[in-house]
Structure formats: C-alpha cells, structure tokens
Structure 1
Amino acid sequence: MNVSWRKAKSWGLALFITMAVEMFLVSQCFAKDTHGRPKKYDHTTSPGVTLNVTDKEVVIDNGIVQITIANPEGYLTGVSYGGVHNILEYHNKEPNRGYWDVVWDTNGYNGTDWLLGSSFNVVVENEDQVEVSFTYKWDSTTWNTSQVWRIPANVDRRYIMLRGSSGFYAYSILDREEGMPAAKMYQIRSVYKLDEQRFHYMAISDDRQRTMPMPQDRDTGLPLAFKEAVLLTNPTNPDFRGEVDDKYQYSCEDKNNKVHGWISFDPQIGFWIITPTNEFRSAGPVKQDLTSHVGPISLAMFHSAHYAGYDVTMSFQQGEPWKKVFGPYYVYLNSISQDTDFHQLWDDAKHQMIQETRSWPYEFPLSNDFPKSVERGFVFGRLLIHDRYKLRTIMAGSYAWIGLAAPGVAGSWQTETKVHVGYQFWTRADRNGGFLIKGVHEGTYNLFGWVPGFIGDYVYIEDIIITQGSVIKLGNLVYEPLRNGPTLWQIGIPDRTALEFYVPQPSSLFVNKLYTDSDQNKFRQYGLWERYAELYPDNDLIYTVGQSDYHTDWFFAQVTRKAENNTYKPTTWQIIFALHDVIPSTNYTLRIALASATRSELQVRFNDPELTIPHFTTMVIGSDNAIARHGIHGIYRLFNVDVPSEWLCVGNNTIYLKQTKHESPFFGVMYDYIRFEGPPPTT
C-alpha cells in the first residue's frame, strides 16, 4: 500500500512551526490586563465599583451598570442601565426576574430547585472589582422532612462586576459530597426575564433575528400538537396572525451559541448573554439547546436533555461526590442614540463576544474551583485521514472537530455529562488538520474527533494527562474511517445532520416568516412531519439508486403515518439497487448513520419485506425529540450491518427500512448517511 508517510512527516514539521506561531499570537494579540479582561477599558476615567449591603438586598454599581440582588437568596431583582431603572420585568415577583434553576428528581420527588442561597459573603471588594457569593449548605437533617426539597448538593452562586465593564459576570458551583443521596439532574440554566414593554427585538445570529410576538399572544393563541407550539390567532401585532411561535424554533448548537439577546427601541439598549467557552456545557459542541424566546426571555443554558433525551441525564448514585463550575458567562449591556441604526447593537455585541472569547480563561474569578491560565494545559497535533478506498495517500483531516473529554469509546463524548466532572474542550482543526486545544483543566482525557465528509468517530484511546502548565504535542494522528470494501452506492453526506435531504415547505397554516426564505434554517418550521403523508398519500418512499436524487427524493425524517381515530401507522421505506454480479460466500456491508432517533426501532430486511425476523434491528433507541423540536439532528448513531451474499441476487435488490414504533407522530429517525460496500478485493 503506497501511503505517503514522508508527506505526513513534513506536515508534522509544519505543524510544529504553526503551533509555535499560534502560541506566540495567543500570548501577544490576546493580551489581558491585570484582571484578565480584554484591553478595552479605560480605568483612569471609569468610576470605581461600589457595594452596598442591607438586610434585604445587595447592590453593586460601577457607574455604568447597577445590579440589585436579593440577600441572602441570590436572585437578581433589578438591572439598571442607560437611564432605565430596571430592564428586568418589574411586574414579575422578585424571584421571577433573574434566577438559576435545576430540574431534578430523587426517590419520591421530582421538581425544580431555584438554587436559593441561605447566606451571603463578600469575596472581594475594591474599586476595580467586587465579587459576591450566595451559598446554600445542604443539610442531611432536613432531608425528606422539609416542605421545600433541595438538590443534594452545596450551592455557591456568584456575581462579579469590574471597573469600566458594561455588564456583569455570573457563575455557580455545585458540589456533591460523599454521603449525599442519589439524584438525577435534567436541566441547569440561568434565566433573565426582561421588560415586556421595552424588549421586542430578538437576535441569535446574523440571519436569525426579528421583532417577536408578545407573551399575551401565546395566551390567546391555539395550542398545537406539540405542547410548546402555539398558532397565533389574535396577536397584538396583526403581522403575526397565522404564524406559529415555538421556543425550539430558536434553538442553537452550542458551538454557535456564544452571544444572543434582545434589543429595546426606546431607548435603544441591548441585553446580551455572552458565553465565551463551551467547556462547562454538557455533551460536546453540536449539542443543541435553547437561547432566547418569547417573554422576552434570555437563557444561559449549561445542561439539558434537549435534543438528546435521557441519554444525557446526570445521574448520581448514593454517596457519589461531584463538583462543577458553571460559567462565568457575561451579561453585556450596550446602547446607542435614537437616530442610529439599531443593528449596530448586535454588531457591537458580536465584537464584545470576540473580546470575551479571546480573554478566556478569565483571571479575575476568585473561586479556588476555577483554574487560572497557568493552572491549565495545551494539547496540539494534526489529524490525518487514511481511507484506503478513497485515496491511496493520507489526507489532511480538514476542519475536523477535535476535543478532549472523559476517557471512553468513540463517540462517548456525546452523552458524557459528569464523569471527570463533565468538562469538555473542543476546537476546529485548520484545513491541514492542525489543531490547538488550550485552557484544559487538570485531569485524564481521551482525544475525540470527527471529520465532515467521513463516516464515524475518531478516538485516540491513550490517556492524555493534563497537569498545570502542560504543553502536550501529539504529532500526527491518523484516523481510518470504518470501511470493509469499495463503495457501491451511497445516499446523503456524512455530516451528522439530515440537512442535505428533502426538507419540505411548511403548511401554509404553520409558518414562521423568519425562515420562509432560508435554505439553511428551513427545517425550523413547525409541523414538517405532517407533510410526509401529504407527499406520499398512498405508498411510502421508494428510492432507486442511480435514478433518485437524495436532495429531492429522500424525505428528511422517516416518520409515522396518521391513520383513523388519531392513531398512527409505521412506515417502510425502500432502497432499490442493482448488482451486476454477486460474489458468493462473502460479506457485503451496509452502514447506516442516523442523525436522530426518537423512541424508534429501525428494522432492515433484504429482498423480503415480510420476513418475520428482520436481518437487522437497532432495537428501540433514542429520545432526542429532534423531529418535533425542529433540530435536524440529535445524537449521532452508526450501525454497521454485515450482509452475506446469500441475502442478495444478481439484478435488482431491495432494502426495506421499517420504523416499527408508531404511538406518536413524533416517533421516527433522521438519516445522516447510508453506504453499501462491496466485499474487500481479493489479493
């Protein structure tokens, strides 16, 4: 086999030079001031930070922003900025304005913990910085006896304000000690509910921003089949009549969820959640979650089951210890004059996000549980690909996603939420496959990755041990994607989503106008699952290799079909392909990569749809709900099926793909990629 190892060696030298330059740039261009902030603030002219504490509240003020926090509970009751006394919704009860919560359960109880503090402490107070702490100490003597259930963990909620900063930082530390009861955590987040009369315009990205409906528009609307979705029938703004509002239409992959928020037009003020890193979020960079939605509500999400289901539940056994820092994230406020284009607020927020990202990890948080830059490590290397049936030479793993997570098998990072406390560190490789992962906590990791355009997951299973100041050079790593033989045919693109398949236009009854002209976001419309039965009223989808086009002839999701009396039927799709000859006594290979699965069982049969026992079954898999929640993907799964030549015949063959579970319109699978391989050539 003629593999170009000399070329790989030269790439290794180039990588070393590239990384040396990059590390120099990191230290020079991304320089921080003495507080670890971007060099943006003029401390000589900015007033100092002040702290005022009473029995009921804590007020922090730096002359730009003032925040008021309940003492000792720790929820935010007010944010003053730009001449507005309180940009939070002051009609709400005080605990329902700016708060943290955890959705959890234990034996005999399930509900929400608001992480309320029971004591207050000043961590630091000077003109340059104030940091305050609101803590709760779990008490075993009141467990099972209190009327208010609390998660079995110690809680430390903190706020930081810096001199000259147009905003504030927030983070929380959850700490389970040995001896604490078993529990499961399903969601951890921070919530801000803004002034309904001022904040009407939401922005998530350059192409996902709009004026939003009002909360009362949802109250007067028509609830739809999926409980969070409402058809707006009598909105305060007539332009919204006939539109669907659904908070999941504004979800986002974590790798893109760095800044989002709201704009007030009078005065022109922006409120932004800036998350400079994903290291404290669960389940990797393509995990999807909520951002902002009608309220106006803005969220900092750290952990949830959205688009993944129970596979990502944080489940703690009796006595299992665990500690994790969630954040800090930055609440940024900006303003412009009334005669200026309001879009400049979004542009400025993006610029601030870049500054915050470059200054990570921050040096100013004072918790001992938050490691500073010198206490972290670097890992760098290059990922190469050797696909012997695609090219004989080694290729660069161009734009691969590379990450460090708890040791495990390939792809285990998708559901890893608490082992090694749940931190993950990801980066995007350059076009030559070179990568640099910086700011890594001390610990033991495996290195994981995947490359757009190639099937499956990569894992470097040797332990990578990070200590303070580690700089680990991994050199050239070679990923050999799964393959047994040459490709005979394929459907789709191995990119871990179903976006390349046919996503229909929504019903005229269920439209969100934000996405009517967007090819990249067309899957975010409500009710697309119902279009399948309209497009295939009598028979299920049939795809003929060599004639059909997956862009137009492969529906984006294999869903159920509505039957009589509000029941549903399973669906069976067919793939027809021709073989000019069949090599006897050998195995072919069918690879099915799923982008999503919700309470589904996919059965595979060759040339006999009535076969009692299928040739292959996934068994029942998935609870990511991505079909109903407009996600285009959930958890990635790859199934590899050995196909004995006895199952095949010369001429036309048919693969029957039956999704058997049919209790709901939301049950089904999304395909990422299907490939049929011939047997390996004889030598």
Structure 2
Amino acid sequence: MALALTALHGIIFVAILTSFACLNYPGLAIGDAGVTVHVEREYVVLDNGIVQLTLSKPGGSITGVKYHGVDNVMEAMEKEDRRGYWDLVWNPSDRDSGMFQKVYGTEFDVVQQDANQVEVSFRTKWEPSHLGKLVPLNIDKRFVMLRGSSGFYTYAIYEHLQGWPDFNLGETRVAFKLRKDKFQYMAIADKRQRIMPMPDDRSDGRSETLGYPEAVRLTDPINAALRGEVDDKYQHSSENKDSLVHGWISSDPSVGFWLITPSNEFKAGGPLKQDLTSHVGPTTLAMFVSSHYSGVDTVPKFRNGEYWKKVFGPVFIYLNSASEKSAPKLLWEDAKKQMQVEVEKWPYEFPGSEDFHKSEQRGSVSGRLLVQDKYISKEYINENSAFVGLASPGEAGSWQRESKGYQFWVRADVNGNFFVKNVRTGVYNLYAWVPGFIGDYKSSINITVTSGNHINLGILVYNPPRDGPTLWEIGIPDRSAAEFFVPDPDPKYINRLYVNHSDRFRQYGLWDRYADLYPDGDLIYTIGVSDYRKDWFYAQVTRKDGQGSEQATTWQIRFRLDSVHPNGTYKLRVALAAAHLSELQVRFNNPRVQPADFTTKLIGRDNSIARQGIHGLYWLFSIDVDSSWLLEGDNVIFLTQTRCQSPFRGVMYDYIRMEAPAGTVASTDAVAE
C-alpha cells in the first residue's frame, strides 16, 4: 500500500499508514504543476491538479467542481446558475417586500495568475437604468485557487456609491447545491450530524406541510427509516461563533464538501447571531447578512445616499476524501482540523483586492475586564469569561443589531484578560457582556485602530445594573432560555437527531406543548418552592381556545415579603432572550389594573419560537416598583404577553430578578401553595 500524503499547517508530511492510511489529506501534492486558469468563451476553469472549478463567464456561477474521480460534486440536474451562486434579497427604502436577486457578473478579469495562485473577478456595476430592478450596488465577486489546496476560496466586495438610491439589504449569502445521489450525510457539529432526507421527500406526495412552509413531516420518504420525522432547515441553525465548518459527506466515493468560515468579522450581528448552515437539498450556505432570529434590526439600511463598502469573506470550500466507504467521522474530524488551519492563517495574505486588509494593515487591542457588584462581592469579580468585542460606535449592546461594519470578538480568560488581534483600521467602541451578569458594557471613549499599532486599554470595570440586594431570581443571565423547561416533543413531530440531545429545543412544535402541560390555567411559579429547570416553561406563548383562536397568557410569580420598605423603590429586572411581535405587560398584585404597571410595548421580530432558536436578540428592562404596589406577606407578579395573533408570538425569558431598595437587607420567603 502506498504512503498517503498530507499537508497540515502548511507543512508537508508523509503520513505513516498505520495512522492515516484510510484518509486522503489532499494537501500539497509533491511535484504538482501548480495552478492553471483556462478562459473559454462561456466558462472559466481553475485547476490545481486536486480540484477543478468551473465558473460561468461572465456571470460567475459555479457550474462544476471536479474532485477525487467525481466529475461534478454539484447537482448537474439543476440549471447551471442554480448550483453554486452568490445571491441577495433587497428592497427599496419605500417598499416592504423583498426582492430576490442572484449576483451575476457582467465583466470578467483574471486578477492574478501564477503557478501558486489564480484569482478571478466577476463584476457588476449599477447604472441609473437599473433603478427599481437591481440592487444599487457595485459587486465584485472573486474566486481564488491556491497551489496544493484541496478546495477554493470566494469573497466579494459590495459598494454603494454616494448619492445612489436608498435601500435595505435583507440578506446576502453564497449557496451550494450538491449532488443528491451522492451527498446524503450532513454534519454541523460533533453531535449534530446524520443521514438526511432526500429533497424529493419534501414534495407533496411524500410529506405534509406543518405550521410554515420550511417544516414538513415525512410521510413516505425514500429512506423508510425517516418516516414520521420532521424536516426543517431552521433546526440546523447555529450561532456565528459556532458556525466555522459544516457540510456534507458522500459515502460512495467517500468525499466531504465543507464550508469553512475562518472569521466572523464580516458577518452581521456579532457572535451570538444565529443563521442557517446546511440543510436538505443537499444545500450548504455561507450566510453573511440576514434577518433570521433578529428581524429587521440586523438588516443594513442605507439612507440619504450614504457611501458604503464591505468585504464579505473569503470563505473556504474544502474537499476531502477517504479510501474506505462511508467514513463520516474521519472526514468530519479532518474538516475540523482544516478549519483550525484556516483560522490560524487569518487574515489571509492571498486576496488580490486592496479592500481586504492584510495582517500588516491591521492593529490590536488588549486589556482586562473586571466586574464590580458590591452585592455579590466587595472584591472585583473576574472568574467568568466575558465576551469582548470591537464594533461600530453606538450605545451599549448596539453590537447585536449592527450590520454595516466589521466586528472582532474574543473570550476573555478567567482573569478577565483579553487580546483582540487582526482588527481592521477604523473607529470602534469596545463592548462586552459577561455570562452570569445582566446588561452590556461599553467603553467610555471611541477607539481608533491604525495599521500596525497596539492599544492597551488597561483595567476596565463593568458595573452591571444593580440598585439593591437580590430578593429572588429566576434563571441564569446567559442570554438564552436553554436552562428552563424544554418539553419533549409531540411524538408525531419528532426529529430523532435531537432526542436526548443538549439542543432538545430544536424539536418542532414545542410551543404547542404549553397548552398540553397547562390545560386548565397558566403557569404559576412560587419562589422558594418551584424549580425553574422544571417549572418555568422555556417560552411564554399563546394558547388556543375552544374555537382554535390564539389567546394571551398570563404567568404568575408568587413570593412573600416579611416587610415592605415604605419609602424605598424596589427594582424588577426582566431580561428577555427573545421576543416576536410581543408586548409584555407587568402588574403587581392586581391582574386587572389599567394601565399595566409596566409594558414593553410592541417589541421584537426574531421569530425564534418558530425557528427553534432558544434565543434571538437580547432585551433588558429595569422596572421601578413603587413600595405601595407591594404587600407585607404574599405577593404576586402577573406577566401577560398580550399579542396573540399567531402561535409564534411570544417571549423567551433569560433571567428575572427582584431587588430590594438600595441600602436594605433582603428578606423574602416563599408563598405557600
């Protein structure tokens, strides 16, 4: 048996058969002829002897990818411009409805060509004659192939010139549609991978549509083992910070197709923004901008003819193979290793566009973030690893809604130290949030990063919102509802991937389980008696009445006060992990008082309940509670979600805390049931 060749971290190794005989790491081939580009009348072909990439000309659609004896891993049954492509959804500022548009080039150039790399460009320029028909952007989408690389890169530069029409960019992405006869095993994470349904299984004759078009129940799938399961592309979403590699595996031949995103600096919404990954098609997506799990808040809106330019990518399309059939674990583990290689190489040195900043053009920022909460400790607190990032200047927490600029995020160490490297030149605020504490930190001054410089901010102190000692609390302040009670799904609507899974919230139809569990009345939670892990439903949703209409729900929090401070103001902190077209009204000891003691008014469009997201955008409300609203002895807080036009309207709680007035000593007991 011949020795296998592998390339790890850019170094050529000859792999010993006893360890890696079954896996082909394509890497750098010894004696290869380098990269070539063949420009034909209607096609451009990039070839490095490992992968051959065919692109339409001048449109720039991916019509073919040849690898490891497979003439085309893309779905040849699709039209050529529906196999691999950049696209977007946009609308003029005076319209609500979005328009889908594929990004077709009208001009083609070879940007760079030598034996080590080829970069090609497909450009389209906006003209006044395109008004109302095409998005008002100049777009330069590029493809790069490197010598010895088992794959190719793609990135694009979007530009809106000053004075051009206003518009909203609702979504932009790269989509890859693979051969359905080959790629049937999908991998998103270590514990999120499986044999998937065929796209034909979603047709009317083989499935039934559920509460929205993306979700179907498989009634007659080609693979009988999947009968009765739910397929929904949103079940496979991931947060940006966790979506570094995903893709598909063919069992015969054993080939993997992977989308690797080495940096999230160009994605909208920061590290916690959720988005689609791979799903039945077989489809793999590189999502850059979308309203998923956030609504219009993360949609870039261009007004008053403002100038804007942004580089999306590069992302790496990686292919690997194994000599034995059906080796998903081997291919997945290798894809993760390659992902780490790409992360360590970021920012790439090869892109030919001057708009992509190389490492020497970037700067860095460091410091130490400590937490000070005198009601927890007299000392600074630093044991929790904060999320620390640089994003466009704005208000505290604005990073989660920011979408036009770049963001750079790291996790601080257990001592609060952070180092943000490879930051593009520009003006930023430093933002942070700390698991275990509510609210958001923002630097008091803007930070200007220039090429090659390092800024040490020294010790920074975050004082999370706090007025007085804690009387009681529900949940964990971590911007997720995952710690609350997530029910088992209705057996009719199960996805076996998420049975006994840490992401059990990804099952379809969990919102309907609320009425099953509370048939005669709404949730009542008693401080000191109830357990939020078992007694606090993961989402406050609507319930159907006897005629099938949705009704508002009112939850109760019962607690006991030994005494009430007559001249003090109490504080109720309500942190929401998600909200969709909802209005949360809060009342103290009188469920019918009008107006409510507090209302959020109409908030949220993240649709996280329907999309099995467990969180969307974070909301924090600090409610002043007049002492006259409280009673010595038994008290009840009524939480009413009043908007009930659909079963997907509702809120997910992150954390609730009741604080005594400043300077007092907390004293509370449970209400007897």
SS in 2 for 1:356: helix
3-state DSSP of counterpart to 2:410: strand
- Match for residue 134 of structure 1 among 122, 137, 143: 122
Residue 330 of structure 2, aligned match among 336, 339, 344? 344
Aligned pair partner of 1:499 in 482, 489, 504 = 482
Compared CA separation, residues 232 and 42, structure 1 to 2 (3 A):
closer
Does structure 1 conserve the Cα–Cα contact (< 8 Å) formed by 2:250 and 2:326? no
Residue 618 of structure 2 is aligned to residue 636 of structure 1: yes
Mapping 1:527-566, distance limit 5 Å: 527-566=509-548
Give the aligned partner of residue 259 of structure 1.
245
Cα deviation digits, residues 191-240 of structure 1 (max 9, x gap): 00000000000000000000000011111200001221000000001111
Amino acid at match of 2:75: E
Correspondent of 1:437 among 413, 420, 445: 420
Change (3 A) 1:383 1:580: same
Corresponding letter in the other structure for 1:467: T
1:169 partnered with 2:157: no
SS in 2 for 1:462: coil
User: Of 393, 404, 416, which aligns to 2:379?
Assistant: 393
Which residue in 2 is equivalent to 1:124? 112
Report if aligned partners of 1:450, 1:457 keep a CA contact under 8 Å in 2: yes
**SS of the counterpart of 1:152?**
coil
Residue ranges of structure 1 left out of the alignment (5+ in a row): 1-29, 34-38
Task: Return the match for 2:443 from 457, 460, 463.
Answer: 460
Structure 2 distance, partners of 1:504, 1:562, is: 18
Partner of 1:289: 275
CA distance in 2, matches of 1:297, 1:681: 58
Structure-2 separation of matches of 1:288 and 1:339: 33
Show the 5 A alignment for 1:574-613: 574-613=556-595
Counterpart-to-counterpart distance in 1, 2:608 and 2:182: 33
Report the AA paired with residue 609 of structure 2: I
- Classify the secondary structure of the residue corresponding to 1:395: coil
| SS of aligned partner of 2:373 | coil
The alpha-carbon deviation at position 585 of structure 1 amounts to 1.4
**For 1:110 and 1:407, how far apart are their aligned partners in 2?**
28
- Structure 2, unmatched stretches of 5+, are 1-7, 12-24, 666-673
Shift of 1:397: 5.3
* Alpha-carbon shift at residue 455 of structure 1 (Å): 1.0
Amino acid at match of 1:125: Q
Cα 1:394–1:131 shift into 2, 3 Å: same
In structure 2, C-alpha distance between the alignment counterparts of 1:397 and 1:158, rounded to whole Å? 44
Which amino acid letter does the alignment assign opposite residue 453 of structure 1?
A: G
Partner of 2:180: 196
CA distance in 2, matches of 1:566, 1:135: 53
Question: Does residue 1:681 correspond to 2:667, yes or no?
Answer: no
Q: Secondary structure at the match of 2:555?
A: strand
Shift of the alpha carbon at 1:560?
Answer: 0.3
Code of the residue aligned with 2:31 in structure 1: it is: T
Which one of 293, 296, 303 corresponds to residue 310 of structure 1?
Answer: 296
Amino acid at match of 1:526: Y
Residue number in structure 2 paired with 1:10: none
1:544–1:271: structure 2 CA closer, same or farther, 3 Å change rule? same
The Cα offsets for residues 404-427 of structure 1, whole Å up to 9 and x where unpaired, read as: 001111100010111xxx200000
CA distance in 1, matches of 2:304, 2:379: 52
Shift of 1:141: 3.2
Q: Deviations over 1:63-114 (max 9, x none)?
A: 0000000000011000000000000000000000000110111146741121
Counterparts of 1:410 and 1:517, CA distance in 2: 37
Question: CA offset at residue 31 of structure 1?
Answer: 8.5
Inter-partner Cα distance in structure 1 for 2:275 and 2:81: 24
Paired residues for 1:200-279 under 5 Å: 200-219=184-203, 220-279=206-265
The answer on whether the counterparts of 2:251 and 2:326 sit within 8 Å (CA) in structure 1 is: no
Q: 1:74 to 1:341 in 2, by over 3 A?
A: closer
Determine the structure 1 residue equivalent to 2:650. Answer: 668
Q: Note if contact 1:384-1:396 (Cα within 8 Å) is conserved in structure 2.
A: yes
Letter in 2 for 1:634: G
Equivalent of residue 402 in structure 2, options 408, 416, 428: 416
With over 3 angstroms needed to count, the CA separation of the structure-2 counterparts of 1:454 and 1:516, relative to structure 1, is same
Q: Which letter maps to 1:500?
A: E
**Separation in 1, partners of 2:638, 2:152:** 56
Task: Give, as a single letter, the amino acid of the residue that structure 2 aligns with 1:663.
Answer: Q
1:304-349 deviation line (CA, Å, top 9, x unaligned): 0000001112111141111000000000000010257331000000
In structure 2, the residue corresponding to 1:338 is in which secondary structure?
coil
Q: What is the Cα deviation at residue 44 of structure 1? A: 5.3
Aligned to 1:325: 311
CA–CA separation in structure 1 for the residues paired with 2:327 and 2:169: 43
1:267 alignment partner AA:
P
Amino acid at match of 2:649: F
Say which of 443, 450, 455 aligns to 2:433. 450
**Structure 2 partner of 1:112:** 100
Distance 1:682 1:270, change over 3 A: closer
Q: CA RMSD in A?
A: 1.5
1:85 maps to 71
Q: Secondary structure at the match of 1:225?
A: coil
What amino acid is the match of 1:242?
A: G
Q: Distance in 2 between matches of 1:191 and 1:175?
A: 21
Q: Deviations over 1:355-387 (max 9, x none)?
A: 000010000001010010000001011111111
Equivalent in the alignment of 2:142 = 158
Partner Cα separation in structure 1 for residue 574 and residue 289 of structure 2: 29
Cα distance, 1:253–1:536 mapped onto 2, change above 3 Å = same
Aligned position for 1:23: none
Residue 16 of structure 1 corresponds to none
For normalisation by structure 1, the TM-score amounts to 0.92
- Structure 1 residues 544, 142: CA separation in 2 closer, same or farther (over 3 Å shift)? closer
Q: 2:631 maps to what in 1? A: 649
Classify 1:541/1:627 alpha carbon distance in 2 versus 1 (closer, same or farther; 3 Å): same
State the alpha-carbon separation in 2 of the partners of residues 588 and 368 from structure 1: 56
Aligned residues: 641
User: Partners of 1:309 and 1:564 in 2: how far apart?
Assistant: 32
Aligned equivalents of 1:42 and 1:208: distance in 2? 30
2:329 & 2:389 partners in 1: Cα distance?
Answer: 34
- State how far apart, in whole Å, the 2-side matches of 1:191 and 1:427 are: 28
Matches within 5 A, 1:16-165: 42=28, 45-106=31-92, 107=94, 110-144=98-132, 149-165=133-149
Question: Are 1:406 and 1:446, in contact at CA under 8 Å, matched by a contact in 2?
Answer: yes
Confirm or deny: 8 A CA contact 1:385 1:397 kept in the other structure.
no
Q: Of residues 509, 513, 518 in structure 1, which corresponds to 2:492?
A: 509
User: 2: CA distance between counterparts of 1:81 and 1:188?
Assistant: 27
Using the aligned pairs only, state the percent identity: 54
How far the C-alpha of 1:43 sits from its partner, in A, is 6.8
Task: Verify: 1:616 aligned to 2:616, yes or no.
Answer: no
Distance change >3 Å, CA 576–CA 465, structure 1 → 2: same
Q: CA deviation at 1:470?
A: 1.4
Task: Tell me if the contact between 1:585 and 1:646 (Cα under 8 Å) persists in the aligned partners.
Answer: no
Length-normalised TM-score, structure 2 = 0.94
Residues 125-169 of structure 1: CA deviation (Å, up to 9, x unaligned): 11100000000011113424xxxx211000101000000000000
Residue 576 of structure 1 contacts residue 654 of structure 1 at CA under 8 Å; is this kept in 2? yes
Matching residue's letter, 2:491: S
* SS in structure 2 at match of 1:210: strand
**Contact 2:252–2:326 at 8 Å: present in 1 too?**
no
Contact in 1 for aligned 2:251/2:325 (Cα 8 Å): no
Deviation at 1:398, TM superposition (A): 2.6
Are the equivalent residues in 1 in contact too, given 2:252–2:325 (CA < 8 A)?
no
